[in-house]
Amino acid sequence: MKKSIWTSVFVVVLAIGLVLSLSLSVQAKTEWKMALGDASGGTQWALGERFAKLVSAYTGGEITLALFPNGQLGSEQETVQNCRLGTLDFSVAAINNITPFSPTVGLFTLPYLIQSVDEAVTLTQGPIGEELVQNTIKSAGVRILGWSYSGFRRLSNSKRPITKPADLKGLTIRVPKNAIMIDSYKSWGVSPTPMAWDEVFTALQQKVLDGQDTPLITQYVMKFYEVQKYITKIRYVFLLEPLVISEQLFQRQSPEIQQVLLRAGKEAQEFCRQFLILFEDSIENELKGKGLEIMDPADGEKEWIEKATQTVWPKFYKSIGGKEKVDAALKAINREFPF
């Protein structure tokens, strides 16, 4: 009799425990991980942090995101690949690190295509940008939720002032592992050194590299002023750094959560645009205060533009989807080629 009573008690306790466990499971909050290639404080961080705050606010705190800056979760290409495989939730990465998985987004790395933040906004938020978002879902398995507007990639080096392509002779310049950007430097008579982003600071510090190119805000938050002396304000690429989500993760969400993610992405990218406009000039002054010499390229950058566009653009028409894609982009921003 006693055995029967204790057996019944055990069954009741076990049942209560299972109910509580299920209840806690249902009420458990979700935390997703987001990788960033840059240090906190820059445009990647501005986009990612604002997105995280908006998602948390719109879900009543039920969904939160943990940000891992400075390449803690791997190189940018690795984190995009992990999102593609579904082993990572989110990544913010330079557009050139998405191109290997979705070649048509290489349109936005063509030298001198984008010449202002307004043009960047027009292209990314219009029909062309939407087409590239859909292409990336199909070919890369990741979905672009928002764009980080990070500014022009400015050339820095530790050796001497650079104002014209001939000044690059003899310098070892890092570029991303991106064929379009590599060929841009080759058009200027340089054989650049492709290198993963997370290796660049150490290579500059150890004098393996003389220079590199990234936006001023990135150079500031990554403390490149410690290992560089000169900056040339070329504008060959306007850096876009999309926030991507694993498409597997996105498709597992309810329609309501999907709408939250899409809304938060659009609002975060607008915040990032305002962030760039507000802080870029002050960052330039900060870098000057750190002892860097900042100069403009000679002759309105004419020689740089002519060599890069005439050599590089035709070579990559096929990979980005055809010359008609370039023509459509130029039409959208009211420009003609050559220019």
Q: Kindly tell me if the per-residue pLDDT of 20 is higher than 60.
A: no
Residue 91 has pLDDT above 50, yes or no: yes
- pLDDT category at 337 given cuts 50, 70, 90 is confident
User: Would you say residue 326 lies in a domain?
Assistant: yes
The count of domains in the chain is 1
Please report whether residue 21 resides in a domain: no
| CA atoms of 301 and 90, how far apart (whole Å) | 37
**Average of per-residue pLDDT across 209-236:** 97
Mean pLDDT (whole number) for 213-220: 97
Cα(78)–Cα(196) distance, integer angstroms: 10
What would the mean pLDDT of 210-235 be, rounded to a whole number?
97
Q: Is residue 3 part of a domain?
A: no
On whether the CB atoms of residues 260 and 55 are closer than 8 A, the answer is yes
Tell me: pLDDT of 119 over 50. yes
Quick one: pLDDT band at residue 28, thresholds 50, 70, 90?
A: low
Q: Find all residues with CB under 8 Å of 29, minimum gap 6, and list them.
A: 61, 62, 63, 64
Instruction: Assess if residue 336 is contained within a domain.
Output: no
Average pLDDT of the segment spanning 173-198: 95
How high is the pLDDT of residue 336? 84
Per-residue model confidence (pLDDT) at position 27: 44
Q: Is the pLDDT of residue 161 over 60?
A: yes
- Determine the Cα angle at 164 with ends 207 and 284, to 5°: 65
Long-range contacts formed by 9-18: CB under 8 A, 24+ apart? none
Residue 11 lies in a domain: no
Q: 20 in a domain, yes or no? A: no
Helix (H) or strand (E) holding 68: strand 63-68
**19 domain residue, yes or no:** no
- Please name which of 155, 268, 173 lies closest in space to residue 216, comparing C-alpha atoms: 155
Instruction: Show the DSSP H helices in the chain as ranges.
Output: 2-27, 43-58, 76-85, 117-125, 127-140, 179-187, 200-205, 216-221, 247-252, 255-289, 302-312, 323-332
pLDDT tens digits for 277-310?
A: 999 999 999 999 999 999 999 999 999 999 999 9
Mean pLDDT of the 119-134 span? 97
pLDDT value at residue 260: 98
pLDDT at position 211, please? 98
Please state, in angstroms and rounded to a whole number, the distance separating the CA atoms of residues 189 and 170: 10
Band of residue 9 on the pLDDT scale cut at 50, 70, 90 = very low
- Asked if the model's pLDDT at residue 155 lies above 50, the reply is yes
The CATH number of residue 153's host domain is 3.40.190.170
Mean pLDDT of 87-108: 96
Cis previous bond, 161, omega within 30: no
Mode of pairing for the β-strands spanning 142-152 and 238-246: antiparallel
Range of the domain at 300: 29-331
- Enter the tokens of residue 207: 């004098």
Percent of the chain with pLDDT over 90: 90
Residue 9 lies in a domain: no
Dihedral sign for Cα atoms in the order 35, 77, 198, 285? negative
Residue 10 has pLDDT above 50, yes or no: no
Q: What is the pLDDT of residues 234-268, one digit of tens each?
A: 999 999 999 999 999 999 999 999 999 999 999 99
Band of residue 338 on the pLDDT scale cut at 50, 70, 90: low
Mean per-residue pLDDT over the chain, rounded = 92
Confidence of residue 339 (pLDDT cuts 50, 70, 90): low
Place of tokens 């001939």: 166
